Each structure stands twice: as structure tokens, then as C-alpha cells.
Structure 1
Amino acid sequence: MVLFPNAKINLGLKILRKRPDGFHDIETVFYPVPLCDSLEYIYTDSTDFQDDLTNFSESAVKKLVTDSGKPVYFSISGLPVAGDPSDNLLLKTLNVFEASFGLKSGVRMHLHKAIPMGAGLGGGSADAAFLLKQLWYDHNEPCSFEELVQLATAIGSDCPFFLHNSPMFGSGKGEVLTKMELDLNKLQIVIIKPEISVPTKAAYESVVPDDEPSRLLTLLQAPITSWQTKVTNDFEVSVFKNYPAIAEIKKKLINMGAFYTAMSGSGSAVFALFNRNAEIDLSPFNDCFRFHKEL
């Protein structure tokens, strides 16, 4: 089975308050974009590590185990993935699913990363959510979809969105979702990520919460040409101060004629929405990760 988890952008992001559990209440609009990882997995009963290396020669294979001891053979290629494989959200997903419903066997997985980490694009959450949903299908849907969404919150706050994978207004920690009608298919999207990454924890520690409601749903119903001054990301004030190179990317994209540009999540990626017929020169960003496609 091959899955293609896609990235997301945030259209506006309001930090309302810090919660007793240490997280923050937010308001944002999640929108899926066609920048995708690929995740290949198969079930295996083999406990012989060497037998499970055949199709995973692109990078070193790590032998892990689920909480119940089932083997997990995991390899990664593509863009760099920081951290120990045992801390990857994919293993957490297997454990969360197994704890509730069991797992019919061990798993071999290969993840090819195309969504950069530390970008605010939700790549890790997307990988986890796509795997969780497919496990649900593979095990004959052992719970309702609504219960699956609740299970996803135990993996990550953005994971419930990727189970729906359509435009959603997010509140709470981002896991309380309301479907909304928003179609950007007549536009081009550009995503630029500099080499620097913004630690999510540090971004939240630097932001100043504001209890004033965002009015995002109303603002996004207005013409896109009005969004730039009204649909804002609260992280930008502190992140741009600490990382002026990210602010400079946004400035360049605005000067190139984007309808709307903003940082996604807590950064460091900046996205821009252009008219479908616009001619876009990305050479000013040759030292950055670049993505350009029609929505």
C-alpha cells in the first residue's frame, strides 16, 4: 500500500489563550495543498531482520517494535528527518491504534519525505493521520469515523484535520473542526522555506495571546485581495523579529504580486497565493526549499 500524505497551510492563525494543560487555544483555517510525502507499508509476520531488507535499500532500515512487541521495519529517504526513528509519529500511530484495536501483524514502512520538517506545513501529522486512516480501513473499520478522529487527537493536534483533509475551521488546540466552503483552485501556490527552522515550543513561548475572537470565517468570505491586511498569523510578530530572513521572504513574495502571503503555522515556511495566469520567477529563493503548483 502506498499513501501520499499532503501538506497544509494556515489561512490566518489566532492565539487566544494558554490552557491549563499547557497548550494554547487557537483559531485558524486549515487548507490542504498538493505537496506530498509518500508512505509505503506492508504487513509482515517475519521476525528475521535480514529478510525484511530487500525493498528498503535507499536508506538504513531501523528495526523497531510496537508496545506489544510486533516488529516494525522503518526506513526514510528524501528530505532530512530529525530525531530518533523510535520517536517518529508513525510508530506512535501504530501504538495508539494497537492499544485500541490490536494490530494484525508487524509492519514494514518506507517514508519518502518531500514536505520539509520545521516548516509549519504539518508533514509529520499528515503522515500519521494517513497511516491511521488506512489502518482503520485495513482492520475493517473497528470504530466510527468520529471515534477515529478522537483517537487522532492522542497522536497530534493537527492529525484530526488530515483525516478530513478538506478546508476546516480549527479551534481548541486545532482539533475542534468545522467544515467550511473555500475553493482556491483557480490560484497558484508558492511555498518557500529557508534553511532555518522555528521550534514550535519556542514560537508559542514568544507569542502574546489575545482573547479577541479572530473573525476568520467572515474575513475569508471577502475577496482574496482584501486578505493581506486582515487575515493574519499571530506568530509572525515574534518569529519575524527573531528570524528576519523569514520576514524578508514574505516581503519579496508580496512585491512579486501575490494576492496573499503569510507564514504557515509557527513557520518557517511562507506561502503565497497568485493568480493562475501569473508568471512567477522563484530565482530569488534559490537557497531555499521551493514548491510551486496550481491548486
Structure 2
Amino acid sequence: MSDGEETAFAKLNLALHVRGRRADGFHDIETLFAFCEDGDTLTAEPADALSLCATGEFAEAIGAGENLVTAAAEALREASGSQSGAAIHLHKRLPVAGGIGGGSADAAAALRLLNRLWGLHWSPDRLEPIARGLGADVPACLHSTPMRGDGKGDVLRTQDSGLSGAPVLLVNPREKLSTPDVFAQWDGLDRGELGDWRHGRNDLESAAAVLAPQIGAVMAWLSAQQGVDVVRMSGSGPTCFALFETIEQRDRAETGVPREWWRLATRLR
């Protein structure tokens, strides 16, 4: 990868336990983040001003106004005191509002990319406060390595999932879900702490399925595939994922995904 290119790695929540509603309107969660090898792609070139051009299947969802990529660029420029600009190109292949950190991953990738382009050489720890101001998932996406997330998901500590290189298939029924809307549907029951993620769950699955009933069909379809290890919804949905024992089993399943659904066959980082 060149200094002018960065991948916005797709985020997965291997498990997501909602423990309660906070006074600030957010929720306390416990989650294990993992990241895929693939995602959106950002490139940038030096320029007098900041600009963003988006292409790809989901480019139209970005819009021409303020978004997390330009917000990240502006925040980094302000924090660093830089007067530099950048012509940023985003190739958008991840669904928007899909539960896989599309916007958050894009913002994090923009921070990493512009940190290099502008010659700042800031460490991830120094970039993290900026990421924190952009959204709860952006700090984890900044690191894009397996991490345990507590609080709003932004209290992080490294936790090896032991899954690096694991074949995974992501499937989205081509629906968008608002994270606040899904949390508003949560039943408020604390079902216990997150221990071993394999015995965990995503407490937002039922809430998301109320708003996007096809989630049930996607999870049932994934669960029926040969070689599946774990099937869950990621984040607030509606993207679901299946971990497979072998790449061949994943690829065989990928060819059978119903045509109307979005899919991404990849591996975990």
C-alpha cells in the first residue's frame, strides 16, 4: 500500500452485549471488535484545499456535504495546526448504515492517510482523541486490530481473538438501519457480561430484526451453509457474518448468496 492509499477495513462485532442505558443517552456495551482484510479504499493527493470525491457502489449514499471523512480531515487539520489540503478519493464498497463501521472505518482511514500525507507522523495514541470525537466506533477502527470495547465501545484494550486469517462471509439484505433506532428497540434487559465471545451474542439482533425482518432470513441462510463455525449480526445490523472452517467452504457459500443481497468474501486481519 502506498503512502497515498489506505484501506478502511470492515468492522465486525464478534459479540455485542448491551448492559444498560446511560444518563447521557448512550448505552454501556461490551464487545469484541475484529476487522476484515477488505473494505473501502481511500487515496489522497496534496492540494490547496480539502475535497472529497466518492465512487463505487455506495458512493451516492455519501452525499456532497459534510460526512465523516471530511469531518476527520478537518479535525486533524485543526488539531495539528496544519494548513495543508488534500484531494481525497473514496471508493465506497461497504454498505452505509450496515453495522460494519463503514463511515467510522472511512473516518479512521482518513486520519491514518492524512497523517502520512501531511508528514505529521503522529502515533495512533495521539490520533485517538481525534477519533474519539468523531464517533464511538472510530477509535477501534483507527487501530483496526482485535480489541475489547467497553463503555460506548470506545474504552479499548487489545484482545487477540485468535482468528487472524479466518475465512468470513459478510451478507447484507441491502437495507439500512439507524443505530439510534435499533437501540431504541432494545428491550432493556441486561443478559450478562461478555466472557468468551464464542458463547456470547449480539443483544441488538432482535431489535434490528423488528426494523429489518430480512435479517432473520440472512442468518438462517448463513447457518445452513457447510463449514460454518459462527453466525451473528454485526453491530446494529443489518449486515450478518459467518465464520467458516476453510476458504473453499466460504467461497462455495458465496456463490450461492441470493442475488439481491450484498456480500463480501474476505478474511479476518
TM-score norm. by structure 2 comes to 0.89
| Equivalent in 247, 254, 259 of residue 223 of structure 2 | 254
Higher Cα Rg: structure 1 or 2?
1
The separation in 2 between residues aligned to 1:77 and 1:144, in whole angstroms, is 30
- 1:241 pairs with one of 210, 217, 240: 210
Q: The residue matched to 2:253 in structure 1 has which SS?
A: coil
8 A Cα contact 1:44 1:106, kept in partner: yes
Q: Does residue 5 in structure 1 map to residue 13 in structure 2? A: no
What CA distance in whole angstroms lies between the structure 1 residues aligned with 2:257 and 2:68? 34
Identity of aligned residues (%): 30
CA distances 1:119-144 after superposition (whole Å, capped 9, x unpaired): 11111111111211233344444765
Match in the other structure for 1:40: 43
Superposition map of 1:177-196 within 5 A: 177-185=156-164, 187-196=166-175
Q: What is residue 50 of structure 1 aligned with on the other side?
A: none
The count of aligned residue pairs is 260
Give the equivalent residue in structure 2 for 1:65: none
Alpha-carbon spacing, 1:34–1:93, altered in 2? closer, same or farther (3 Å):
same
Extract unaligned runs of 5+ from structure 2: none
Q: Is contact 1:186–1:275 with CA below 8 Å preserved after alignment?
A: no
The alignment partner of 2:30 has SS state of strand
CA separation of 1:85/1:24 partners in 2, compared to 1, >3 Å: closer, same or farther? farther
Residue aligning to 2:249 = 278
Of 148, 153, 158, 2:127 maps to 148
1:268 aligns with 2:241: no
Q: Provide the C-alpha distance between the structure 1 equivalents of 2:179 and 2:12, rounded to a whole number of angstroms.
A: 15
Query: Displacement, 1:243?
Result: 2.3
Structure 1 CA distance for aligned equivalents of residues 92 and 35 of structure 2: 17
2:167, 2:244 within 8 Å by CA — same for their partners in 1? yes
Q: Name the CA shift for 1:151/1:30 in 2 (closer, same or farther; >3 Å).
A: same
| Deviation by residue 1:9-29 (Cα, 9 ceiling, x = unmatched) | 101111122222221111100
Asked whether the equivalents of residues 191 and 272 of structure 1 are also in contact (C-alpha less than 8 Å), the reply is yes
Matches within 5 A, 1:4-153: 4-45=7-48, 71-81=49-59, 82=61, 84-141=63-120, 145-153=124-132
Alpha-carbon shift at residue 285 of structure 1 (Å)? 1.8
**Distance 1:241-1:109 versus aligned 2 partners, 3 A rule:** same
Greater shift, 129-138 or 3-12, is seen at 129-138
Distance 1:245 1:186 in 2: 29
Counterpart-to-counterpart distance in 2, 1:73 and 1:138: 14
Give me the whole-angstrom Cα distance separating, in 2, the residues matched to 1:100 and 1:142: 13
